[in-house]
Amino acid sequence: MHGRPRRPTKPVDEEAASAKAAKLRDLQVQVLQNHQSRTYTKEAIGLSFKLLEINPEAYTAWNYRKLALKHKIKELSDPEAIRSAVDDELRVVEVALRQNPKSYGAWYHRKWLLNQKLAPVDFKRELGLLDKLLKVDARNFHGWNYRRFLARFMGVPDEEELKYTMDKICDNFSNYSAWHNRSILLSNLLIQQSKGFESKQKIFSEEFELVTQALFTDPSDQSGWFYHLWLLAQTSTPENPQLIASWPCNGAKLSFSLAKEKVEQSTVSSIWCHSLKERTVPIVLYFNEPVKGLNQSSVKLKSDLEFGKDIHWRALSVTDSGYSNCWATYLQIANECSSSQQYSVDVGIPCSDDIVSRSGSTYNCPVHLTFTIELISNGTQNIDLFDKPVAWNCSESFQTHGNCEPMPFDLLKITSALVEEDSNWHFERLSEEIDLFRQLPDDDSKFVKLTLARLLIACAAIKSRGRSLIERKRYCEEALGYFSDLIHLDPSHKQYYEDERSLVLMDKLTCDMETFMKHCSVQVQPNSVPLNHVQLCRLSLTRIGFAERLIWVQVLDLSHNSLRSVEGLEALQQLVSLNISNNQISSFTALEPLMKIISLKVLDLSFNKIGAHSIDTTRYICSSPFSHKDEACEAFEECRKKNINVEEYWDAILLFKSLKLAQLDIKGNAVPNKENFRTLVMILIPSLKWFNGECVN
Amino acid sequence: MADGPAAAAASAGAAHDYPTIDPTSFDVVICGTGLPESVLAAACAAAGKTVLHVDPSPFYGSLYSSIPLPSLVSFLSPDPSTPSSTAPAAASSGSHTVVDLHRRSVYSDAETSGTVPEPARRFTVDLVGPRVLYCADEAVDLLLRSGGSHHVEFKSVEGGSLLYWEGCLYPVPHSKQTIFIDTTLKLLEKRALYRFFTLVKEHIAATSAPADETGEVDAAATISEGNLDLPFVEFLTQQGLSPKMRAVVLYAIAMADYDQDSPDPGEKLIATREGIQTIALYSSSIGRFANAEGAFIYPMYGHGELPQAFCRCAAVKGALYVLRMPVAALLMDEEKKHFVGARLASGQDILCKQLIIDPSYKIPTLDVPFDDSDSNSLRKVARGICIFNKSLKQGSSNVLVVFPPKFSTLDLALEEQQVAAVRLLQLSSNLAVCPPGMFMAYLSTPCTDGSAGKQCIKKAMDALFSPQDSDGSEGHLETPSESTDDVKPTLIWSCVYVQEIAQGTSGSLLSCPMPDENLDYRNILESTKKLFADIYPDEEFLSRNSAPVHADDDSDSVE
């Protein structure tokens, strides 16, 4: 029951309780025995009823009853008799629900009974039962689930069910279940384009109005805010997935030096210059929401370059869901080139039913990207790139290298004409909401502030499509203010607010060229190719956002922030050096995204909290330490041979085995600074040259 | 009307065929069976006193009764030559001085229009209307405590309250849900109103909760002392309530009588403390009984059932009842100047330690020096009764309508006179007070000048009802474009009159309070309680255990 104070339980008469437990155990044993021996006598079935009457959660007893009923029905031919058998069963469920209206087993049993279609269903009785239950507790979600089941079963039109949710909301708007059902029904009606539901804009405007009535009446009631959040999501995100960034970008000219790890400094003029040591060209596609289904047929590649015909698109994501924002493939260049030569590569994504988002909508904005690759074959010197450790100097003021040509920044973005179509309505709607909530005089309501911040972010996102950057920055500024307030106002959700603030901050810093350029430079180190350098230090970032704007970065300095997670960096397939020293990373598992960056050579992890936890506490889903693949087992085995405690270091082993680093700094962390940890690193990363500032040899 | 309790009254027989009462001496003699007298009778009887309760009328209730409509007119304008001195007006009788007792006319200026639909006897009218009980008020508690609840049945005023605002009837939002549903309120009005309700709720919870170990009340949740002393209207303004919302809270929830926006501070401004108290009562009333919608309940068959219920309780405890028995005179102890008994119309002298009389009798010692000269300064209430054909709120049987002061601002001539709120209570046949298809309404407004008060009542009736066509048929000449829902109910019959309000007095001769201008019985019962405390300071007023044993099983149900 909701909204009622919990009363302390009465002191239980111990004797009575143990007697009850003994009785229950006895019943349970008998029912299980009957179940095993398939005894379906009247007495045996009666025992299962007695058990369920006391404990409706005894799921085996429900299963037993299902089998018993099937057994009984087989012997019956008279429809009247079948009907009465089903009726008896329905009554058993009702008795169980009286004991516990939220019994999963009981509700499922009822659905199962109806689905058997043994006897005509008395819908009046079913709806009557539901009404009674929902009157007792209007938020019993089992009841609402069953209502949806019945509605489908009876073929009740969604419109009618929608009216029912309205009635319940009018009775008491503090009802998550009713609002939730409303969102489901509305989505269905809009997809089906039912009569009166043709215009999404009209329906959502009405819904916004309805829910604001509730929000203004009692802003401390959460249920309405959740519905508002759903409406906001419907209004602010495009219906279909969009490609928002790619690497290489459209029109880019890349020059690749085919020589092995060497480059002549004076020839470097393009920031897109790469040492093509592996003879691979990565292509990265970044979508606005997680999608799946990128493959050879959904993404068309055309080029005069010779590469293997077997193109495999990889989801760059740390979850195994198959959905990802970011997808990459690696073109294996087979050309033997004698002199400098240009090749063009054409990437086309037509409308595709293969590419689908989590909500099931398909990709429908065709995009074409063309870039050229120049293969340079020159020089004969062999220079060791990592003969000195890379030094980070984030404390020094950052100076743009004079040699840097303006970055083709705008080319990074992909704007689709389709998006513009109804963004006007969306923008107006969101602006109205913002004006409205600014008036809500609840000085310190966290819901108001959070919603305002979310509305502003949504507005900023729409503005970015319209490219009004000044406005966008203003929205970001205001949202940042709200998150700062919220961190103080609602400390129990501090980390969430910090994460959100980080995203807005990253948006603000990277959304326009002028601001972003202050953090970018081209780094030229002796004996190295010039690398695109981005520095985002001392910003109190707790997580990474807008990675699609960083996918071209080769050197990234994120030191002196408060990063708890590096999720998002997996999209940076060009990344060579990463500095995340002086952050709040607390585990090796939190570094899992780095395993996807095959180009990574330099990693500074010093002064974090690595080792404090073995599992990343910032994520809901982490791969289990027991789910390693064969290579992991090999790595474990190798470590075991060297007397390394695998149980202690399994997380480190899993990370390091897939990194091909030349330089690693990990001092100042919670990982024990023992000799065998060093050994472990040496075994797992044979390419390592510098460890904690010392030359490895 | 149901029969009264077993009484010694000779229900049949000629008017002057009075029974003889034995014994001739009682602890308490009460004349008149109005609600306060009946409650006192029940309380005295419960305290173990011997009680003789007489009433000159053949029915219970006196000024608090419900009577068949045909008897109303004669009741309101009684024959001026009241034969009060049927008994010989002997100057002295033995050791007692005999003081003649006269009745005063409580009602004046009765004015009726229209014809009562037949059968007229099916209409039962209250003399105390409009009146309801809060589900959580003292009257309900007393009924439960005394066991009187077994003799009355209630129905709820399920249509809630309506405020007459800018020419329309506006359903009063009183809860989170009603505020949410209301389509006329602006978003910010909703916010301010619900925030005010939450504040009051927290205040009530914080102040009524038993103090915890530290003995401190959560200061954040309460309204400061300074604010509690503020005029309520000022506090509401401070809370950001719009004029309409202020009117809702002041007149339709806190039931303020007088204009709270009046520039004249002499009028009754209610303080925040009082306002909060009424809201507390209102909100604790909602949901007290599972089967009562809203805060108010009304007794089936009319308010006359209430005194009767208490009389039954008194009779169960041994009080002796005699109806049709006027008291002709009072007996006064010559030396001590104390009243020591009463001479009944039968001529029999009854001695008693305490005399309690109906306020419709003039109290000899007090009335002599003033007589009628002060009638203009007396508190008065203008009342109206009407019969009409259609509910004021579609789909509801019983509703309360409140007209805030100056409700008819268009009529400048009247504005000055409308310093008080008018309340209207609509009742339907489900209360067995009128035949099906008909509705009754009671109206009242406090006034000092009777004719001005009557004007207000008439104005309120005009605002809600359309007059009946002169030929007596119902109005069917409305333009066809008007949907039937928009048509005002047709007024079939109405009556407007003025009642004066005399205060109860204490002393060796107690006089009980008259029906007041309020919507509930709170003040009347408060004075009644005081009267009892004056007579028996050491006795408990209708203690809990005075009720029959089965009192508790009804406590969560109105019926």
Write out pLDDT tens, residues A580-614.
999 999 999 899 899 999 889 899 999 999 987 77
Q: Do B186 and B279 belong together in one domain?
A: yes
Is there a domain that residue A458 lies in? no
Last residue of a domain, one of A326, A354, A381: A381
Residue A217 domain flag: no
B408: in domain? no
Q: Tell me the C-alpha distance between A552 and A547, whole Å.
A: 10
Same domain, B45 and B83: yes
The yes-or-no verdict on residue B533 having pLDDT over 80 is yes
Chain A residues lying within 8 Å of B177, measured CB to CB: 170-173
Task: Check whether A558 has a pLDDT greater than 70.
Answer: yes
Residue B253 lies in a domain: yes
Instruction: Clarify whether residues A306 and A168 are in a common domain.
Output: no
CB contact (8 A) between residue B190 and residue A439: no
Number of domains in chain A: 3
Do the domain assignments include residue A397?
A: no
What are phi and psi for residue B371, nearest 5 degrees? Answer: 55, -130
Distance from CA of B194 to the nearest CA of A (A): 6
Please tell me whether the peptide bond between B119 and the residue prior to it is cis, using omega within 30 degrees of 0.
yes
Nearest to A172 among B177, B188, B240 (CB): B177
Do A47 and A193 lie in a common domain? yes
Q: Do A213 and B177 touch (CB under 8 A)?
A: no
* A401-410, A678-687, B27-36, B317-326: range with lowest mean pLDDT: A401-410
Which conformational region is residue A15 in: left (phi greater than 0), alpha (psi within -120 to 50 degrees), or beta?
Answer: alpha
Q: Do A639 and A562 have their domain in common? A: yes
CA–CA dist A177, A182 (Å, integer): 8
Does A43 share its domain with A158? yes
CA distance to partner chain B, nearest, from residue A434 (Å): 14
| Distance from the A222 Cα atom to the nearest Cα atom in chain B, whole angstroms | 14
The rounded distance, in Å, linking the Cα atoms of B400 and B158 is: 9
Residue A666 falls within a domain, yes or no? Answer: yes
Domain-embedded: residue A396: no
3-state secondary structure (DSSP) of residue B2: coil
Q: Is the per-residue pLDDT at B516 higher than 80?
A: yes
The radius of gyration of chain A from alpha carbons, rounded to an integer in Å, stands at: 31
Co-location of B365 and B508 in the same domain: yes
Chain A: closest CA distance from residue B177 (Å) = 6
* Distance from chain centroid for Cα A95: 42
A170/B190 CB distance under 8 A: no
- DSSP run (H or E) holding B439: strand B439-447
- Mean pLDDT across chain B: 80
Above 70 in pLDDT, residue A397?
Answer: no
Tell whether B312 and B249 lie within a shared domain. Answer: no
Complex-level ipTM: 0.75
Query: Counting one residue from A and one from B, how many pairs have CB atoms under 8 Å apart?
Result: 39
Which residue in chain B is spatially nearest to A213 when comparing CA positions? B180
What CATH code is carried by the domain that includes residue A634?
3.80.10.10
Q: Could A216 and B176 be called an inter-chain contact, meaning their C-beta atoms sit closer than 8 Å?
A: no
Both B181 and B97 in a single domain?
no
Q: Within this chain, do residues A178 and A118 fall inside the same structural domain, yes or no?
A: yes
Question: Rounded to 5 degrees, what angle do the CA atoms A645, A649, A653 make?
Answer: 115
Residues A232-250 have a mean pLDDT of 83
A168 → chain B, closest CA residue: B177
The alpha carbon of residue A244 is apart from the nearest alpha carbon of chain B, in Å, by 39
CATH number of the domain where residue A52 is located: 1.25.40.120
| Neighbouring residues of A208: CB distance < 8 A, sequence distance ≥ 6 | A228, A231, A429, A432, A433
Asked whether residue B280 falls in the same domain as residue B180, the answer is yes
Which CATH number characterizes residue B322's domain?
A: 3.50.50.60
| Contact (CB<8Å) A170/B177 | yes
Q: Are residues A193 and A250 in the same domain?
A: no
The residue range of the domain holding A563 is: 519-696
Same domain, A586 and A678: yes
Is A218's CB within 8 Å of B177's CB? no
**A340 backbone dihedrals φ, ψ, rounded to 5°:** -60, 130
Residue of B180, B181, B202, B242 to mutate, interface with A, max A Cβ within 10 Å: B180
What residues in B contact A436, CB-CB < 8 Å?
187
Q: State pLDDT tens for residues B149-178.
A: 888 999 999 888 999 988 888 999 888 888
Which of A217, A219, A439 has its CB closest to that of B180?
A: A217
* Ramachandran angles phi, psi of A570, nearest 5°: -60, -20
Q: Are residues A55 and A161 in the same domain?
A: yes
The answer to whether residue B44 is domain-embedded is: yes
> Are A43 and A154 contained in the same domain?
yes
Binary contact (B187, A441; C-beta < 8 A): no
A101-119 pLDDT, tens digit each:
899 999 999 999 999 888 8
Separation between Cα atoms, residue A285 and residue A279, nearest integer Å: 20
Q: Which of A214, A218, A439 sits opposite B188 (nearest CB)?
A: A439
3-state secondary structure of B102: coil
CA distance B200 to B253: 13
Query: Is A170's CB within 8 Å of B240's CB?
Result: no
Residues of chain A contacting residue B176, judged by C-beta atoms under 8 Å apart? 173-174, 217-218
pLDDT value, residue B264: 66
Report if residue A163 sits inside a domain: yes
Asked if residue B443 is part of any domain, the answer here is: no
Q: Is there a single domain that holds both residue B260 and residue B311?
A: no
In the listed set A324, A352, A381, which residue is the last one of a domain according to the structure? A381
- pTM value is 0.80
The CATH number of residue B179's host domain is 1.10.405.10
Query: Across the interface, do B177 and A442 touch by the CB < 8 Å criterion?
Result: no
How many Å apart are CA B198 and CA B201, to the nearest integer? Answer: 5
Residues of A with CB under 8 A from a CB of B: 170-174, 212-214, 216-219, 436, 439-442
* Residue B241 pLDDT greater than 70, yes or no: yes
Among B232, B253, B285, the domain-final residue is B285
Say what the pLDDT of residue B482 is.
43
Chain B positions contacting chain A at CB under 8 Å are 176-177, 179-181, 187-188, 190-192, 194, 198, 240
Express each pLDDT in A155-179 by its tens digit: 889 999 999 999 989 988 988 999 9
> A104 with A187, same domain?
yes
Pair A560, A662 in one domain? yes
Cβ contacts (< 8 Å) between A212 and chain B: which residues?
A: 187
Residue B313 lies in a domain: yes
Residue B304: name the closest of B47, B51, B20, B57 by CA. B57
Nearest CB to B180: which of A213, A436, A440?
A213
Taking residues B339-365, report their average pLDDT: 84
First to last CA, chain A: 68
Distance in angstroms (rounded) separating the CA atoms of residues B543 and B510: 22
Residue B140 covered by a domain: no
Does residue A57 lie in a domain region?
Answer: yes
DSSP for residue B189: H
Q: Is A390 left (phi over 0), alpha (psi -120 to 50) or beta?
A: beta
Element at A255 (helix H, strand E)? strand A253-257
Q: Total structural domains in chain B?
A: 2
* The last residue of a domain, from among A350, A381, A412: A381
Could you count the other beta carbons within 10 Å of the beta carbon of residue A363?
Answer: 24
Q: Helix (H, G, I), strand (E, B), or coil: what is residue B446?
A: strand
Q: In degrees rounded to 5, what are phi and psi of residue B210?
A: -65, 135
Q: Note down the domain range covering B55.
A: 9-104+301-371+504-540
Structure token pair of residue A398 = 């950052």
In a domain, B363, yes or no: yes
Is position B28 within any domain?
A: yes
CB of B222 within 8 A of CB of B201? no
**Residue B558 predicted with pLDDT over 60:** no
* Domain match, A193 and A262 both: no
| Residue whose C-alpha is closest to residue B101's, from B307, B321, B319, B359 | B359
- What does the CA dihedral B210, B213, B217, B221 come to, rounded to 10 degrees? -90
Chain B residues near residue A448 by CB distance under 8 angstroms? none
Reference B176, options B168, B185, B167; nearest CA is B185
Tell which of A216, A228, A432 to mutate to test the B interface (max B CBs under 10 Å). A216
A173/B180 Cβ within 8 A = yes
Angle at A84 between CA A80 and CA A90, to 5 degrees: 145
| Confidence band of A527 (pLDDT split at 50, 70, 90) | low
pLDDT at B476 over 50: no
Distance from the Cα of B198 to chain A's closest Cα (Å) equals 9
